[in-house]
Amino acid sequence: MPKNCAEYINNKLKSAKTVDIFCHTSSDEDTFNSAKAMYSYLKSQGVIPRLVVSGGKENYQYDVNKYNIIQASTVSENTQKADMALCVDFSSPARVGSNVLKFINSYGQNIVGFDHHNDLDIVVKDYNKITQSYKKNTMPTIDAQNYYIDSSAKSNSAIISRFFDAIGHRATHEEARSLFAGMLDDTSKDGIIKVNKLGKVKVTEKANDLGNTKEVMKNVLGRMRVFDKFAVLKHFADKTKLTDKEIAFSKHLKERTQYSNNHKFAYIEISPDDKEWKDLGKDTVRSIKVLQQFRKDALEKDNVDAVAVFYPTNENIYKMSLQTKGGYAKQIIDNIKATTYPDLVAGGHENRSGGTLKSIDTQKTHEWVELFKHSADEVLSK
């Protein structure tokens, strides 16, 4: 990260007495651990931080008494504002609920943030966007802005690590633990990082980023205590250990798999009234892990280039998670926006994206699924 960009954001944050740190909807480990690392850093600088998160604490490794936390669902116009808003792991307005977006917008010019998604819509006007990997000595000179987006980064936690490096802050053991957990969460989804049975962490060739992920991971692990690393690995193993119901559900997914006309797009459509999904508790940490594994397994088939799962959430919205080869995720979404549905709420990375529909009406959700099916037919047939 350019030093001037990091220092500009750092000075803005340190000039505030209080900072609200916002995570995206359905907060995962990357967004929450990015927030935790910044929370720890800001507190050490005499700033009073607060975390705004979405979801249950099964996702997180925290003592609720250690962090000042409010749930996104409770945010309203009556919620007391901080001096500054810090957004982590999102820049698109679609990545937060309407109540949270309205609250963030009320901060006006006092919004800063870090993200690694290449979304078109940004919550602020002033932002930097890096779209390709650079080595340290080839990073282009750019003017500092409120928001720093590096879509070549494989996790937001890696950007926070680079931010700390640029401002000369040596991550504490606690911050390093958070950064490791955040990086592990996002990169393991794509097979960029793998951990063997002995706990050895390996960055695979899938990173394809001039060694940046490997360098950041080496630096983060260098600041971690051994027992902290294994505590994080145990946390991930424990939270994804499946129940008998979840194991049965994972087996049923193969039977429920549907395909586009060209058979290059495989997908699961879970209807809003699906009893088995409801019995699992809908989108829990473990059920989402089952869906992730399904996408990985289906994508390994030679004739399949894209895999998606569509499902209702506990927040009464309908979600899509898409994983592809060859940058098709972005192409499928862009094709829908260009041809049939310009207001589609979807985006993310070239090969891994998500989307939401603010409805759980069965007919509307099915029509939404059909948009992706037809788009995949067009894009994957070229």
CATH number of the CATH domain containing 256: 3.10.310.30
The domain total for the chain is: 2
Pair 7, 139: CB distance under 8 Å = no
Q: Name the strand (E) or helix (H) holding 41.
A: helix 29-44
Kindly give, in sequence order, each residue whose CB lies less than 8 Å from that of residue 168, ignoring residues fewer than 6 positions away: none
Of 239 and 183, which is predicted with more confidence? 183
* Predicted confidence (pLDDT) per residue in 318-371, tens digit: 999 999 999 999 999 999 999 999 999 998 888 999 999 999 999 999 999 999
Q: 295 falls in which pLDDT band (50, 70, 90)?
A: very high
Residue 152: how many CB atoms within 10 A of its CB? Answer: 17
- Does pTM surpass 0.75? yes
Q: 155 falls in which pLDDT band (50, 70, 90)?
A: very high
Q: 236 falls in which pLDDT band (50, 70, 90)?
A: confident
Let me know if residue 115 belongs to a domain.
yes
Q: Which domain holds residue 330?
A: 244-379
Average pLDDT, the chain: 93
Task: Give the separation between CA 217 and CA 185, rounded to whole angstroms.
Answer: 13
Kindly give, in sequence order, each residue whose CB lies less than 8 Å from that of residue 107, ignoring residues fewer than 6 positions away: 81, 84, 85
9 and 144 together in one domain = yes
The residue type of 128 is N
Answer yes or no: is pLDDT of 41 > 60. Answer: yes
Answer yes or no: is pLDDT of 194 > 90. Answer: yes
In this predicted structure, what is the pLDDT of residue 62? Answer: 58
Answer yes or no: is pLDDT of 55 > 80. Answer: no
Decide which of 169, 197, 221 is a domain's last residue. Answer: 169
In this predicted structure, what is the pLDDT of residue 60? Answer: 59
In this predicted structure, what is the pLDDT of residue 34? Answer: 97
Decide which of 147, 169, 191 is a domain's last residue. Answer: 169
Decide which of 113, 144, 169 is a domain's last residue. Answer: 169
Answer yes or no: is pLDDT of 68 > 70. Answer: yes
Let me know if residue 151 belongs to a domain.
yes
Answer yes or no: is pLDDT of 59 > 70. Answer: no
